[in-house]
Amino acid sequence: MQNIYLKFIEMQQAGQGLVLATVIRTIGSTPQKTGSSAIFENGRLLNGTIGGGVVEGRVQEAARYCSQSGVSRYLHLFLNSDISDKDEAICGGEIYILLDADPLIHMPVFREIIRSGEQRESGVLVTRIAQSTGDQVNIGRYWMTGNSRPSLPERFREKIEPEALRLITDGSRDGIVCMEPGLTGEESSSVYFLEPLFPLPRLIIAGAGHIGKALSHLAKLLDFEVTVIDDRADFANTVNLPDADHIIVRDVGEAMSEAEKSTDTFFVIVTRGHSDDAKALKPCIGSGAGYVGMIGSNGKIARMKTDFIEKNWATEEQWNRIHTPIGLDIKSKTVEEIAISIAAELILVKNSSRKI
């Protein structure tokens, strides 16, 4: 789960002055979508973004105030200034931003999120925003999964829990919900921000050569959990693959056969030869993986297709679902350009929720 909350595990010794800013709600055109977050330290941006430009500048100033005062705020910004006003936003929309002046107090919740991620368990981070005075708020955070519930009043669970479980079941990374349930007995109105968090999509690269190495670097930047498989220890090592989360030195066919295959698993086959490509591809056919792509010339791909269908390793329909030649057509020529074309296709498929 590569998300902004995990950064606090690295920053918990950073001292005072950390502020977490999160876009809670948007109306119309805005520079960032709901859920976008940034971490500030005494007004200085450390990580993430709220959209850059004028909006981020205004949030940065508000974050500096929160650092100094220790008071959390809930901002409502209008972005409909005239185009002639160079110091204001002209997107035309509205944006609500939560500024948490004491995010480290929620470290136990962030650690729960980490534990769930290690177990590849999805969940929903529920943030309660209770109005105090003006735009000042009190903040509570709770982590909920399909198997665990935070210790909360029954009236809270009756309103929030069904929606949180729906978000987990739907599996949409964009399925953020902002609720104002008006719970009986609350002294002031509260907003509940439900943010689903899922384990990172897994990318398994068969082949640790030049393309596999370049792709592992790009995929790590794109928040994939990266595994690279190769039977050559001279290539499959941390020196050659510094960005890979897991490196497997083993026969490619055997390792690919044992790899877990699910809708959030993406396979890229870029081995050193036709034989290894076939061994890597065979266990992926009809596996339900989110993506299977294989590099190769048109001639090689045509020969492999005939071979796979004649040997009943794949049907015509199953073969046609393989991304081969791999990558988006951006007229790539260099290793780096080929890796970018593959990474772009991974993003497209990931965001389209397609199965193989």
pLDDT digits (tens, 9 = 90+) for 319-351: 999 999 999 999 999 999 999 999 999 999 988
Peptide bond into 283 cis (omega under 30): no
Q: Residue 313: what pLDDT?
A: 95
Report residue 209: phi and psi, to 5°: -75, -160
- Is residue 66 within 8 Å of residue 130, measured between CB atoms? no
Q: Residue 17: what pLDDT?
A: 86
Q: Residue 2: what pLDDT?
A: 54
Q: Residue 182: what pLDDT?
A: 63
Q: What share of the chain is helix, strand, coil (3-state, %, to 5)?
A: 35, 25, 40
Q: Which residues does the chain have with pLDDT short of 50? A: 1, 82-90, 354-356
Asked whether the CA dihedral 220, 225, 230, 232 is positive or negative, the reply is positive
Q: Determine the length of the chain.
A: 356
**Strand positions, DSSP E, 29-176:** 37-41, 44-48, 72-78, 94-100, 123-131, 136-145
Q: Residue 152: what pLDDT?
A: 67
- Is residue 98 within 8 Å of residue 74, measured between CB atoms? yes
- Is residue 187 within 8 Å of residue 217, measured between CB atoms? no
Q: Mapping DSSP to helix (H, G, I), strand (E, B) and coil, where does residue 354 land?
A: coil
Residue 131 to residues 70, 178, 186, 308: CA-CA distances in angstroms? 15, 15, 11, 63
Nearest to 207 by CA among 281, 148, 153: 281
Q: Residue 91: what pLDDT?
A: 56
Q: What angle do CA 21, 69, 39 make, to 5 degrees?
A: 20
HSE-CB of 31 using CA atoms within 13 angstroms: 19
Q: Residue 356: what pLDDT?
A: 46
Q: Residue 290: what pLDDT?
A: 92
